[in-house]
Amino acid sequence: MADNKALKAHLNVAVATQGVLFTKLHQYHWYVKGKHFFTLHETFEEYYDQINEYFDEFAERLLTIEGKPYSTLQEFIDHSIIKEKPYTEEMSQSEMVQSVLNDFEKIVDHATEGIELAGDAGDPVSEDLYIGYKTDLEKHMWMLKAYLDK
């Protein structure tokens, strides 16, 4: 596999994005209220547990191909494709779910680009990592849309 700066940069943005998403999902897990509390509390926890696994896999993949993953909170914020949302006022359950859905949509688009970059770089391992990530997020999106009745 040739040295591919574009793929390494893309993987690093994925790492940063997962760092922000991991924290954002914790926030919603902690602050969710309402009649679907138990379901959403558990769902957000399942999501951040899964994101944590991908977070590590993407960073380790980057290290494997001699990249240097972002590893500070500031780097995550500076390079993520999603934005954190400080919890300054109560959000409804639907607003939280819509926010996660919006983030997942952006991340799926980013993963699609990553699949192409990895394929172009002749890196089937990174390609497979992106495909698995995209597949999991698309399933979550389907369920979140069903929750919102979209």
Distance CA 22, CA 25 (A): 5
Distance CA 148, CA 1 (A): 43
**pLDDT of the chain along its 150 residues, tens only?**
555 999 999 999 999 999 999 999 999 999 999 999 999 999 999 999 999 999 999 999 999 999 999 999 999 999 999 998 877 778 999 999 999 999 999 999 999 999 999 999 999 999 999 999 999 999 999 999 999 986
Q: Global pTM?
A: 0.94
The DSSP result for the chain, as a single string, is ----HHHHHHHHHHHHHHHHHHHHHHHHHHH--STTHHHHHHHHHHHHHHHHHHHHHHHHHHHHTT-----SHHHHHHH-SS------S---HHHHHHHHHHHHHHHHHHHHHHHHHHHHTT-HHHHHHHHHHHHHHHHHHHHHHHHHT-
Task: Sketch out the chain's domains with CATH numbers.
Answer: 5-148 (1.20.1260.10)
Helix 93-120 / helix 5-31 crossing angle, nearest 10 deg: 160
Dihedral sign for Cα 62, 76, 56, 42, please.
negative
As given in the structure block, the two tokens for residue 95 are: 């607003």
